[in-house]
Amino acid sequence: MVRRGPLMFHELAPLYDSTYAAKDYAGECRILRRLVRETADGPAHRWLDVACGTGRHLEILRRDYDVTGVDLSRDMLRYARARLRRVRLVRGDMRTFDLGEQFDVVTCLFSAIGHLRSERELARTFANFARHLRPGGVAIVEPWIDPRDWRPGHIHVVTQRDAERTIVRLATARRRGNRSMIHYHYLIAEPGREARYVDEVDVGLLVKRERIAEILRNAGFEARVVRPGFSTGRGLVVGRRTGVGGRRRPAGRRRSA
């Protein structure tokens, strides 16, 4: 049966860390820190990771920053909570969450914005990021694959094995207008159990990197595209929040980076 929607972040949340075990979160955090140092006005202390997933970036960043995470998926947050004792993790939608306070940095990584349905939703999301940032604070967004780089017909296989399970994930790519469609087929084998098969179709919004930067600018940022970004090669869109004031309580000053 083909299921639609981000099954990966619900039923398959237990597989997320295994599937991405080889992802270089430490290297990504080094790049993020450098971009924040280069971009922010003043020091950065408080870091909000939106669509934080199982908390892999926050696990590293918490050593130097006062961190908070937001994610839509209860299941992903359950894994994040197990990993990040005493870290504030809030269930919320990136378009609408309201923490009632401002941060020095807001990140939204590993193409989580690709789950939005339209440029209008992107604009709404970035306006929300602006509300959660002090003037001079930094937003860093990792886009979904740029439409110019999308390869319909591409087939990708990942095999991941650890003590708990072996996962083979085969993905086939299609395109329908400005939507990417990836059909993921998972074969999951755990010791003492029959192997099981699960599949899902993941639909993404294809928007050029430069257009994402433009939408960020319209939300009150000075924005630029940084390439290649992380090893995914998707680039990063980096913005400094402009303007003064803001209706929220200013960022606290706790640990410094």
Ligand X SMILES: C[S@@+](CC[C@H](N)C(=O)[O-])C[C@H]1O[C@@H](n2cnc3c(N)ncnc32)[C@H](O)[C@@H]1O
* Binding residues for ligand X (CB under 6 A): 9, 51-53, 56-57, 71-73, 76, 93-95, 109-110, 112, 115
Question: Nearest distance from residue 46's CB to ligand X, in Å?
Answer: 18
Find, among 57, 182, 73, 177, the residue nearest to 110 by Cα: 57
- What are the strands, taking DSSP E only, across the chain? 3-4, 46-50, 66-71, 88-91, 103-108, 133-141, 155-161, 166-176, 179-189, 196-205, 221-226, 236-241
In the bound state with ligand X, the residue whose beta carbon lies nearer, of 72 and 122, is 72
Pairwise CA distance, residues 41 & 36, whole Å: 9
Query: Residue 116 Cβ, how far from ligand X at the closest point, in Å?
Result: 7
Nearer Cβ to ligand X (23/185)? 23
Nearest distance in Å: CB 240, ligand X: 21
Structure tokens at 4: 């639609």
Q: What is the dihedral of CA 238, 243, 247, 250, to 10 degrees?
A: 70
- Report the residue closest to ligand X, judged by CB: 53
Q: How far is the CB of 85 from ligand X (least distance, A)?
A: 19
- Nearer CB in complex with ligand X: 144/221: 144
Q: Give whichever of 117 and 253 is closer to ligand X, judged by the CB atom.
A: 117
